[in-house]
Amino acid sequence: MDKKIFITLGIESSCDETGIGIYSSEKGLLSHKLFSQIELHSDYGGVVPELASRDHIQKTLPLIKEALKSSNIALQDLSGVAYTAGPGLAGALLVGSSIAQSLAWGLGIPALGVHHMEGHLLAPLLASSKLDFPFVALLVSGGHTMLVEVGGIGQYKIMGESLDDAVGEAFDKTAKILGLGYPGGPALANLATKGTAGRFDFPRPMTDRPGLDFSFSGLKTFARNTYLKYPKEKPSIAKAFEIAATQTLMIKCRRAIEKTNFSTLVVAGGVSANNCLRQTLDKMAESLDIDVYYPDPEFCTDNGAMIALAGHYRLLSGQSNDDYEIQIRPRWNLEELQPV
């Protein structure tokens, strides 16, 4: 194989998904594999950290073998290994980090810890080869809700974030109240398609004052109270929740765009798979005459491809961990990242 081609292996293990991706400087994403632990945790209604770590240990190496096979390359063809160093569950992160460092050490290639949210933020690049900097990014996942001013890779300024529940968490908690399974976001979105818009009107939290921060914990309480009063109207409650959450996100995105004067919005993270959110933001983008980019639906939720991609840019620029040290950052501020 031509040595000038740089091939990065990416390992994601921050929560309840084991994800592997292989990214090539010549051909882009060669392959990616994913094992979701949803079934493992569903009896508990949420992620059990010890079970998550144990499962990552079992799945990571077999998935790497599968990904290499699908990519038609050998372990020795890899040029670098990237893994999610944080934020996330410490035990789960340690699994990905240990495997990445050991592999890289054995192969004599660099290893690098990647920020999970940078992976999400850059995921639209898996589909299209370019994103014009600067842009505003709306990151919406199970653990984070953030508006970020993005000057370039690694140049992040947080403009606003959730003061309590992340929007994905609010979807999950509301779904639980309505008796839907875990994780509830997709199930709630599905139920909402059967609801009547306007039957209930939920608040748009923190939109009546200036600023770009969010608060979503009140919405789930509103959903609970409405459900106690109207237990037979689950689909319309789901609809009202979804509309309120997406309108709130849209109002803050519009403010962020107006504040920066940027003409591009990137939306990523698990909740960016939501159709109602996409329709709402598409409409807003049209009225403001700006571009909006989303990852392909399969790369909205956690995956290894986005970690391979983010790691790829950084490894190519010469960044790597010192001395194959097993480094994790369970809490890690996006603004602390080094520019590329």
Instruction: Tell me which residues touch ligand KG4 (CB under 6 A).
Output: 15, 141-143, 168-169, 171-172, 183-186, 189, 269-271, 273-274, 301-302
Work out whether 16 is an interface residue with Zn ion (CB under 5 A).
no
**Counts of helices then strands in the chain (DSSP H, E):** 10, 10
Q: How far is the CB of 79 from ligand KG4 (least distance, A)?
A: 27
Binding partner selected for residue 256 from ligand KG4, Zn ion, none, CB under the kind-specific 5 to 8 Å limit = none
Which one among 52, 249, 302, 310 touches Zn ion, defined by CB under 5 A? 302
Q: How far is the CB of 196 from ligand KG4 (least distance, A)?
A: 19
Work out whether 141 is an interface residue with Zn ion (CB under 5 A).
yes
Q: Answer left, alpha or beta for residue 5, where phi above 0 means left and psi between -120 and 50 means alpha.
A: beta
Work out whether 172 is an interface residue with Zn ion (CB under 5 A).
no
Give CA–CA dist 15/96, Å, rounded: 11
Segment interacting with Zn ion, rule: CB under 5 A, options 54-62, 137-145, 246-254, 274-282 = 137-145
Work out whether 213 is an interface residue with Zn ion (CB under 5 A).
no
Work out whether 37 is an interface residue with Zn ion (CB under 5 A).
no
Secondary structure E strands in the chain: 7-12, 17-24, 28-36, 80-86, 111-115, 135-140, 145-152, 155-161, 264-268, 291-293
Helix or strand run (H / E) with residue 119: helix 116-122
Segment interacting with Zn ion, rule: CB under 5 A, options 75-83, 139-147, 197-205, 219-227 = 139-147
Q: What angle do CA 109, 120, 271 make, to 5 degrees?
A: 155
Nearest to ligand KG4 of 15, 68 (CB atom): 15
Nearest to ligand KG4 of 141, 236 (CB atom): 141
Nearest to Zn ion of 77, 169 (CB atom): 169
Binding partner selected for residue 77 from ligand KG4, Zn ion, none, CB under the kind-specific 5 to 8 Å limit = none
Q: How far is the CB of 120 from Zn ion (least distance, A)?
A: 6
Q: How far is the CB of 326 from ligand KG4 (least distance, A)?
A: 22
On the 0-12 / 13-18 / 19+ scale of CB atoms within 10 A, 101 is: buried
Give CA–CA dist 47/119, Å, rounded: 21
Nearest to ligand KG4 of 205, 270 (CB atom): 270
Binding partner selected for residue 171 from ligand KG4, Zn ion, none, CB under the kind-specific 5 to 8 Å limit = ligand KG4
Give Cα separations from 72 to 30, 67, 68, 69, 270 (angstroms): 9, 8, 6, 5, 29
Rg of the chain in Å (alpha carbons): 20
Nearest to ligand KG4 of 212, 238 (CB atom): 238
Q: 314 and 79 in contact (C-beta within 8 Å)?
A: no
Q: How far is the CB of 312 from ligand KG4 (least distance, A)?
A: 20
Q: How far is the CB of 47 from ligand KG4 (least distance, A)?
A: 10
Q: How far is the CB of 143 from Zn ion (least distance, A)?
A: 7
Nearest to ligand KG4 of 301, 320 (CB atom): 301
Give CA–CA dist 297/282, Å, rounded: 15
Nearest to Zn ion of 77, 302 (CB atom): 302
* Long-range CB contacts (within 8 A, 24+) of 322-328: 324/101, 324/102, 324/104, 324/105, 324/111, 325/101, 326/94, 326/97, 326/98, 326/101, 327/85, 327/97, 327/113, 328/85, 328/86, 328/90, 328/93, 328/94, 328/97, 328/113
Work out whether 18 is an interface residue with Zn ion (CB under 5 A).
no
Binding site for Zn ion (CB under 5 A): 141, 302
